[in-house]
Structure 1
């Protein structure tokens, strides 16, 4: 009996690549769902979550090790790395990723408050603060992907186009998840993080080539 692949004009190695990608995305989505379960539950119960930034910030902290593990999982050379490896990566990267999340979250919180306060009294100061906020977010993403902090800042600035693309993809993913939670959580987060990880690796590779 002929293989079903013979009826489709697609090479077998391409099918393997697609299945490998699907495997990783599903595994990452599972980890993110587990790490973000307390946050999602609280968001479903509280009407105005923005009024409790510290509480929801603490609930969001477990997502940092999950994101760091997802980046490492995507970078693995194994076509289908086992799910246990994803959890091992989360455990091994927990301390550093939590520190990155706390520092970046604190800076972003301060910048958001400053922007809100200066929006009416000193609007000219808002654009630089927005740029600084975006730089903190990009640096945190690159650092979670494994880059040293200084290199994460430098690569984020030098590769500003990819940095904006990563932030844009994450923003779209958040909108989709907020509008269609079940479908969004099942598909979107893992795909969005794959884009971010790919962009971060491209930025770092470019910097390494310049240094070399």
Structure 2
């Protein structure tokens, strides 16, 4: 049998990626534990959007910390650094989550109300809903970047933004069907994809304006 030779730097890259994904999954599991417990206990969670929205707020600092953790140049940054990143980004990320959550709530309500009385307005509201979601994730991912630039980069790089939302939606569906396996492996990978896409979007904007 032929011997498979893999370069040492490739192994280091693979282990670094696995280390970061597992650390991010752990943080997300801790931050999302109250939400998951409530979802398991309530039969119709969509009837209580405010309650579950509040329970979901701790995920915003965790997601912001995950993006910053992926951007860390240390091959294997310690787990304690991830928790420090979460604390340092808590205020901005919570503000972003509250504003985005409020706008999403208003838009979803408008879509429900206007679906029958004014259906022509629904596509526009749906586009605005996507823009709010893209802007929120880009603002969380591009820490230290002005919010306007983060939103602008997400809109200009709309293809990558749709890819990110598609990946997140797919992971959400898988987790809903197989919570233990999904939560243990997929969220960290999905956020890595979003992080990579947002960095590419920002780099494209910088090159065009530089």
Correspondence list, 1:97-116, <5 A: 97-116=93-112
TM-score, structure 2 as length reference: 0.97
SS in structure 1 at match of 2:76: coil
Indicate the residue corresponding to 1:157 in structure 2: 155
CA distance in 1, matches of 2:18, 2:152: 32
State the Cα distance separating 1:12 from its structure 2 match: 1.4
Q: CA RMSD in A?
A: 1.0
CA distance in 1, matches of 2:131, 2:199: 17
- Unmatched 5+ residue regions in structure 2? none
Correspondence list, 1:75-154, <5 A: 75-145=71-141, 146=143, 147-154=145-152
TM-score, structure 1 as length reference: 0.96
Asked if 1:15 corresponds to 2:47, the answer is no
State the Cα distance separating 1:8 from its structure 2 match: 2.5
Q: Return structure 1 stretches of 4+ with deviation > 6 angstroms.
A: none
Indicate the residue corresponding to 1:178 in structure 2: 176
State the Cα distance separating 1:11 from its structure 2 match: 1.3
Asked if 1:48 corresponds to 2:30, the answer is no
Asked if 1:62 corresponds to 2:58, the answer is yes
CA distance in 1, matches of 2:151, 2:179: 32
Q: What whole-Å deviation, never above 9, does each CA across 1:20-66 have from its counterpart, x for those lacking one?
A: 00000000000000000000000000000000000000000000000
- Unmatched 5+ residue regions in structure 1? 1-5
CA distance in 1, matches of 2:55, 2:70: 25
SS in structure 1 at match of 2:43: coil
State the Cα distance separating 1:98 from its structure 2 match: 0.1
Q: What whole-Å deviation, never above 9, does each CA across 1:126-171 have from its counterpart, x for those lacking one?
A: 0011000000000000100123211012111110000000000000
State the Cα distance separating 1:7 from its structure 2 match: 4.1
CA distance in 2, matches of 1:9, 1:164: 37
